[in-house]
Each structure stands twice: as structure tokens, then as C-alpha cells.
Amino acid sequence: MHSAQAHPHRFTREDRLRQKALIQRTIKQGRKKVFPELVMYTLPNTVSHPRLGLAVSRKVGNAVIRNRVKRRLREAFRLQQTRSAGQDVMVVARNGAKQLSMRVMGGYFRQLLGKA
């Protein structure tokens, strides 16, 4: 059994925005939404599923905190994937992101993707 079949909600390589050129294109050409703790960009893509890119700098905190922020952002995005079909989403975390709850992150994704 394929790992994606065993875990249908897994965040796979295909779900990630990994190539530098795609990340830069999303930031330059995408629609920007600024929140106090996050800056989010969205741009329609050519694949049929949404992709997420994350940028969490060391200004946010140590490795444990940065990884926690990334896990929460991935989960909030996963819960909103039906709204974001066919879009690339790039999230740049600011220092205040470490205090964000899952509810607030989900609300930010809803605001971003609800207008798309």
C-alpha cells in the first residue's frame, strides 16, 4: 500500500511549494494578504491540487518553536484545502506567529482563500 493511501491526509511532497522559482513567482505575482503575525500570498497554479510553501525565519524562535509554527500552519492549510484547490499558497511567518492558535491560523486561511 502506498503511503499516501495509508494516510490520506498526509502532507506529501506534491502538496509542498518547493522550487525557488515557483516560490518567487507566487510572492511576486500572487495576491498578498498581510496579517499582524503572517504575510500570505496566493496564486492560481497549473496543477489540480493546492500547494503550500512556508518561510519561518529564526526571528520567530528556536528550532522547536519554528517547527511547531510550521506544523500548525500545515494543519490549518490542510483543513482549508477544499477552498484552495488549484492554488499555490506561500506563508511568511512573522515574530508573533509563535503565539497564534490553530483557530486564528484557520481564520487567516479562510480570509485568504475565501476571496479566491
**Mean of all residue pLDDT scores within the chain:** 85
Helix (H) or strand (E) holding 54: strand 51-56
- Report which residue type is found at 103: R
- pTM for this predicted structure: 0.84
Q: How is the beta sheet containing 31-34 ordered, strand by strand?
A: 31-34, 38-44, 87-93, 51-56
- Report which residue type is found at 44: P
pLDDT digits (tens, 9 = 90+) for 2-27: 444 555 667 778 888 889 999 999 99
With beta carbons less than 8 A apart as the criterion, state whether 92 and 38 touch: yes
Q: What spatial distance separates the first Cα and last Cα of the chain, rounded to whole Å? A: 35
